[in-house]
Amino acid sequence: MKSITRQEWYGALVAVMVLGLLLTFASPYFLTTGNLSNILVQASVIALLAGGQTFVILTGGVDLAVGALTALAGAVAGHMMIKLGVDPYVAIAAALAIGAAVGVFNGYLVAFVGIPSFIVTLGGLTLWRGLAFESTGGFDNSGMPDPLPFIGYGQLLGVPMPIWITGIFFVVMAFVLSSTKLGRYVYAMGSNEMGARQVGINIRWYKLGVYVVSGLSCAIGAVVLMARMDSSSGKMAQMFELDAIAAVILGGTSLFGGRGSIWGSLLGAVLITMIRNGMNLMEISQFKQMMAIGAVVIVAVWIDVLRRQHLLKR
């Protein structure tokens, strides 16, 4: 499994390098320090959501509500800071608590009740965004207090803070997947859930933990996003579900579970952002960009299906 994972990780890296080469020839503004830094900053929120999504997809599930949960955590935290005068650090902690609580809710319904993850998170797609609007009265909140401006636009050693946050997050998640019991069991559940259960793995609790990881990643993404926007509302992170899932698939993680890499998901997020950035530089309309991303996702899933069929024949 490790050799397969490494191959997929390299595949995503090659795709980023090839696309970067093509965009360098297509636009003189692409290969500049400012633009490359901008790509990594823009990719940060999608990468954070994709990181949590990777855990879910590796178990053979899917979380369709990551964008809605990001909106809920961000809208509530912003409302607490701006309207209620709550200390920003307490509000950030509340966002993390919301992400973890929703993760527990999703994980319980999937792991203990037995409802398919697709149905649970499809309901959450509107449930959590509706709750975000309801809990804040539908109003936007702007003018985030410190430390949000530093999180969104500050730099440490010349590197923007969103890149630092994303990098640290992925280092921790990579360690969890490669060196902890949760990580090993995530791959085991995705490869053969029945077999994992038969060897004594407590499937339910570990699967619940996977959704908590996804929920926390959404909360971290919400903090970075509202720091970048200098505002929060229930409209945050619309359609981020598609981008997060697309990043995971483009990074080589199989939708069937049990095979993939957290680093591939990071590269997938960068790849999606590069596509959008390049099309913006070439002044291609937003509608065509949407079509392009959708087509890329379909092709990536198609490749995953063909790869799975090839592995089953071996």
Q: How confident is the model at residue 70 (pLDDT cuts 50, 70, 90)?
A: very high
Give the model's pLDDT for residue 4.
45
Spatial separation of the C-alpha atoms in residues 48 and 281, rounded to whole Å: 25
* C-alpha 254, offset from chain centre: 15
> Tokens standing for 162?
């969103």
Q: How confident is the model at residue 99 (pLDDT cuts 50, 70, 90)?
A: very high
Whether the predicted model's global pTM rises above the 0.85 cut: yes
Residue 67: predicted pLDDT: 95
| Residue 8 pLDDT grade (very low, low, confident, very high; cuts 50, 70, 90) | low
Residue 7 has pLDDT above 60, yes or no: no
Is beta strand 231-232 parallel, antiparallel or unpaired with respect to 141-142? antiparallel
Cβ proximity of 151 and 162 under 8 Å? yes
Question: Cβ-count burial of 302 within 10 angstroms (0-12 exposed, 13-18 middle, 19+ buried)?
Answer: exposed
Q: How confident is the model at residue 3 (pLDDT cuts 50, 70, 90)?
A: very low
List % helix, strand, coil for the chain (3-state, nearest 5): 75, 5, 20
- Alpha-carbon Rg for the chain, nearest whole angstrom, is 19
Domain 2-313 sits in CATH at 1.10.3470
Token digits of residue 120: 């649970």
Place of tokens 């595949």: 11
Considering the chain, what is the average pLDDT of its residues? 90
Average pLDDT, stretch 265-289? 91
Contacts 24+ apart (CB under 8 A), 117-121: 117/56, 117/61, 117/62, 117/63, 118/61, 118/62, 118/64, 121/62, 121/63, 121/64, 121/65
3-state SS assignment for residue 47: helix
pLDDT at residue 312 above 70? Answer: no
Closest CA to 58 of 158, 177, 147, 222: 177
Q: How far apart are CA 124 and CA 25, in angstroms?
A: 43
Is pLDDT above 80 for 286? yes
Q: What is the pLDDT of residues 206-237, one digit of tens each?
A: 999 999 999 999 999 999 999 999 999 999 99
Tell me: pLDDT of 110 over 90.
yes
- 1 band by pLDDT with thresholds 50, 70 and 90: very low
Residue with more model confidence, 10 or 65 = 65
